[in-house]
Protein backbone atom coordinates (compact mmCIF):
# COMPACT_ATOMS: atom_id res chain seq x y z
CA UNK A 1 0.00 0.00 0.00
CA UNK A 2 1.55 3.28 -1.11
CA UNK A 3 1.75 5.97 1.56
CA UNK A 4 -0.63 8.82 0.57
CA UNK A 5 1.72 11.36 2.13
CA UNK A 6 5.16 10.49 0.78
CA UNK A 7 4.35 7.77 -1.81
CA UNK A 8 6.62 5.27 -0.08
CA UNK A 9 5.49 1.77 -1.07
CA UNK A 10 5.66 0.06 2.30
CA UNK A 11 3.61 0.39 5.44
CA UNK A 12 2.82 -1.72 8.45
CA UNK A 13 -0.59 -2.46 9.91
CA UNK A 14 -0.97 -1.08 13.42
CA UNK A 15 -4.66 -1.85 13.93
CA UNK A 16 -7.27 -3.92 12.15
CA UNK A 17 -10.95 -4.18 12.95
CA UNK A 18 -14.09 -5.49 11.28
CA UNK A 19 -17.01 -3.08 10.87
CA UNK A 20 -20.51 -3.27 9.40
CA UNK A 21 -21.22 -6.85 10.48
CA UNK A 22 -17.82 -8.00 9.32
CA UNK A 23 -18.40 -7.10 5.66
CA UNK A 24 -15.70 -4.44 5.91
CA UNK A 25 -12.24 -4.41 7.48
CA UNK A 26 -10.62 -1.13 8.49
CA UNK A 27 -6.86 -1.06 8.86
CA UNK A 28 -4.76 1.61 10.44
CA UNK A 29 -1.37 1.70 8.75
CA UNK A 30 1.88 3.43 9.49
CA UNK A 31 4.32 4.40 6.76
CA UNK A 32 7.74 2.83 7.36
CA UNK A 33 9.39 5.86 5.72
CA UNK A 34 7.68 9.02 7.03
CA UNK A 35 5.90 7.45 9.99
CA UNK A 36 2.54 9.04 9.22
CA UNK A 37 -0.64 7.02 9.66
CA UNK A 38 -3.52 6.43 7.30
CA UNK A 39 -6.56 4.18 7.13
CA UNK A 40 -7.49 1.65 4.50
CA UNK A 41 -10.73 -0.25 4.14
CA UNK A 42 -11.12 -3.61 2.57
CA UNK A 43 -14.32 -5.20 1.37
CA UNK A 44 -15.27 -7.93 -1.04
CA UNK A 45 -16.41 -6.48 -4.34
CA UNK A 46 -20.07 -7.08 -5.06
CA UNK A 47 -20.51 -7.06 -8.82
CA UNK A 48 -23.77 -6.15 -10.52
CA UNK A 49 -24.42 -7.84 -13.83
CA UNK A 50 -26.24 -5.42 -16.09
CA UNK A 51 -28.73 -6.43 -18.74
CA UNK A 52 -26.04 -5.91 -21.40
CA UNK A 53 -23.89 -8.49 -19.62
CA UNK A 54 -21.38 -5.89 -18.48
CA UNK A 55 -20.56 -5.77 -14.79
CA UNK A 56 -20.01 -2.88 -12.43
CA UNK A 57 -19.36 -2.68 -8.69
CA UNK A 58 -22.43 -2.30 -6.50
CA UNK A 59 -22.89 1.31 -5.47
CA UNK A 60 -25.07 2.57 -2.63
CA UNK A 61 -25.11 5.97 -4.32
CA UNK A 62 -26.75 4.45 -7.39
CA UNK A 63 -29.44 2.86 -5.23
CA UNK A 64 -30.12 6.21 -3.55
CA UNK A 65 -30.18 7.94 -6.93
CA UNK A 66 -32.70 5.44 -8.22
CA UNK A 67 -34.98 5.75 -5.21
CA UNK A 68 -34.72 9.50 -4.68
CA UNK A 69 -37.00 10.33 -7.60
CA UNK A 70 -39.72 8.09 -6.21
CA UNK A 71 -39.37 9.88 -2.86
CA UNK A 72 -39.88 13.40 -4.19
CA UNK A 73 -42.20 15.39 -1.93
CA UNK A 74 -42.37 12.54 0.56
CA UNK A 75 -41.23 12.72 4.21
CA UNK A 76 -38.01 10.82 3.49
CA UNK A 77 -34.63 12.31 4.38
CA UNK A 78 -31.05 11.56 3.37
CA UNK A 79 -30.48 9.40 6.46
CA UNK A 80 -33.49 7.26 5.52
CA UNK A 81 -32.08 6.82 2.02
CA UNK A 82 -28.59 5.98 3.30
CA UNK A 83 -30.05 3.36 5.62
CA UNK A 84 -32.18 1.93 2.82
CA UNK A 85 -29.11 1.61 0.57
CA UNK A 86 -27.22 -0.10 3.40
CA UNK A 87 -30.06 -2.58 3.87
CA UNK A 88 -30.15 -3.28 0.14
CA UNK A 89 -26.43 -4.02 0.17
CA UNK A 90 -26.78 -6.26 3.24
CA UNK A 91 -29.62 -8.15 1.58
CA UNK A 92 -27.62 -8.69 -1.60
CA UNK A 93 -24.50 -9.77 0.29
CA UNK A 94 -26.39 -12.02 2.68
CA UNK A 95 -26.82 -14.87 0.21
CA UNK A 96 -23.08 -15.03 -0.28
CA UNK A 97 -23.02 -14.31 -4.00
CA UNK A 98 -20.15 -12.26 -5.38
CA UNK A 99 -22.20 -11.26 -8.44
CA UNK A 100 -25.89 -10.45 -8.69
CA UNK A 101 -28.20 -9.48 -11.54
CA UNK A 102 -29.24 -5.83 -11.75
CA UNK A 103 -32.82 -7.02 -11.44
CA UNK A 104 -32.11 -8.41 -7.97
CA UNK A 105 -31.01 -4.96 -6.85
CA UNK A 106 -34.45 -3.63 -7.76
CA UNK A 107 -36.10 -6.52 -5.95
CA UNK A 108 -33.98 -5.87 -2.85
CA UNK A 109 -35.10 -2.22 -2.88
CA UNK A 110 -38.83 -2.97 -2.80
CA UNK A 111 -39.21 -4.30 0.77
CA UNK A 112 -37.27 -1.61 2.65
CA UNK A 113 -38.79 1.12 0.47
CA UNK A 114 -42.25 -0.10 1.32
CA UNK A 115 -41.43 0.12 5.02
CA UNK A 116 -40.10 3.62 4.49
CA UNK A 117 -42.96 5.12 2.50
CA UNK A 118 -45.80 3.37 0.73
CA UNK A 119 -46.36 6.13 -1.82
CA UNK A 120 -42.70 6.14 -2.81
CA UNK A 121 -42.88 2.36 -2.97
CA UNK A 122 -45.85 2.47 -5.35
CA UNK A 123 -44.07 4.98 -7.59
CA UNK A 124 -40.91 2.90 -7.67
CA UNK A 125 -42.75 -0.38 -8.20
CA UNK A 126 -44.83 1.10 -11.01
CA UNK A 127 -41.71 1.92 -12.98
CA UNK A 128 -39.63 -1.04 -11.92
CA UNK A 129 -42.34 -3.60 -12.49
CA UNK A 130 -43.78 -1.90 -15.56
CA UNK A 131 -47.27 -1.17 -14.33
CA UNK A 132 -49.21 -0.70 -17.55
CA UNK A 133 -52.72 0.00 -16.37
CA UNK A 134 -54.86 1.29 -13.52
CA UNK A 135 -55.59 -2.33 -12.67
CA UNK A 136 -51.91 -2.88 -11.92
CA UNK A 137 -52.00 0.00 -9.42
CA UNK A 138 -55.28 -1.21 -7.95
CA UNK A 139 -53.91 -4.69 -7.53
CA UNK A 140 -50.79 -3.43 -5.78
CA UNK A 141 -52.77 -1.10 -3.53
CA UNK A 142 -55.08 -3.98 -2.61
CA UNK A 143 -52.00 -5.99 -1.63
CA UNK A 144 -50.66 -3.09 0.45
CA UNK A 145 -54.01 -2.77 2.25
CA UNK A 146 -54.28 -6.50 2.84
CA UNK A 147 -50.80 -6.84 4.31
CA UNK A 148 -49.70 -3.71 6.15
CA UNK A 149 -45.98 -3.24 6.29
CA UNK A 150 -44.44 -4.91 9.32
CA UNK A 151 -41.75 -3.48 11.56
CA UNK A 152 -38.19 -3.93 10.37
CA UNK A 153 -36.76 -7.31 11.30
CA UNK A 154 -33.13 -7.29 12.37
CA UNK A 155 -30.63 -8.33 9.74
CA UNK A 156 -29.42 -11.82 10.47
CA UNK A 157 -25.77 -12.61 10.82
CA UNK A 158 -24.09 -13.28 7.57
CA UNK A 159 -21.12 -15.21 6.33
CA UNK A 160 -18.83 -12.99 4.33
CA UNK A 161 -16.99 -13.85 1.19
CA UNK A 162 -13.27 -14.47 1.59
CA UNK A 163 -12.51 -12.57 -1.60
CA UNK A 164 -10.92 -9.28 -0.66
CA UNK A 165 -9.64 -7.47 -3.66
CA UNK A 166 -10.70 -3.90 -3.14
CA UNK A 167 -8.49 -1.58 -1.19
CA UNK A 168 -9.07 2.12 -0.92
CA UNK A 169 -7.70 4.89 1.17
CA UNK A 170 -10.28 6.70 3.24
CA UNK A 171 -8.58 8.76 5.80
ZN1 LIG B 1 5.04 8.02 4.11
- Taking the centre of ligand 1 as the mean of its atom positions, its distance from the CA of residue 9, in whole angstroms, is 8
Three-state DSSP at 148 gives: coil
- Taking the centre of ligand 1 as the mean of its atom positions, its distance from the CA of residue 11, in whole angstroms, is 8
- Taking the centre of ligand 1 as the mean of its atom positions, its distance from the CA of residue 137, in whole angstroms, is 59
User: What's the pTM value of the predicted model, to 2 decimals?
Assistant: 0.68
- Taking the centre of ligand 1 as the mean of its atom positions, its distance from the CA of residue 86, in whole angstroms, is 33
Per-residue pLDDT of the chain (171 residues; tens, 9 = 90+): 899 999 999 999 999 999 877 778 999 999 999 999 999 998 888 999 998 999 999 999 999 999 999 999 999 999 999 999 999 999 998 878 889 999 899 989 999 999 999 999 999 999 888 888 999 989 989 888 887 665 544 445 444 444 444 455 555
For residue 128, report the phi and psi dihedrals to the nearest 5 degrees: -65, -40
Amino acid sequence: MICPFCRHDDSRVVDSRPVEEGTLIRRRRECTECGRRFTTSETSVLLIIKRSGATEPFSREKVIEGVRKACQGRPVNDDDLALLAQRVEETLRSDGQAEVEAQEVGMAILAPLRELDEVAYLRFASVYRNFASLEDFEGEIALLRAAPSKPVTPVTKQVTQPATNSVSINN
